[in-house]
Amino acid sequence: MLSRLPPEADTVNTGRVEMHIDGWLYRLLIALSGITLVLVVVYIVLIQENRSVQAEVNQRQQFINQSIQLGRINDTLIRALAAAAVDNNDDRLRELLAQNGIAINPATGAPEKQATPAAAAPAGTGR
């Protein structure tokens, strides 16, 4: 059997006041230490999750930036095709552009996107 230490062994002398460490205080300190450990683990998990979400956001932003650049190239390509269709009087190229919603202005040769039903303005709700 374990022998119990004398009551003086449970006393801590801080220099000014003697404090008696009871069983409940010890349990409270252990519980607070455990809670602190759990909070540290949760913090580490949240940091790792934040890194993965940040990596996904960065990938999406890169896709958006590339899409903007490709949109500019697309507009330039459409203008070049429209100019070639007007200069060469190419009906097949005009039909191809028309099938993709691009109308060529006969006066200027500039392409104009035709309004599609999905791009039309929504009807008023009457409010």
The predicted pLDDT at position 120 comes to 45
pLDDT band at 59; cut points 50, 70, 90: very high
| pLDDT of 122 higher than 60 | no
DSSP code, position 118: T
Interior angle at CA 59, CA 56 and CA 62, nearest 5: 150
The predicted pLDDT at position 16 comes to 55
Asked whether the whole model's pTM tops 0.75, one would answer no
Domain boundaries, the chain: 20-104
pLDDT band at 119; cut points 50, 70, 90: very low
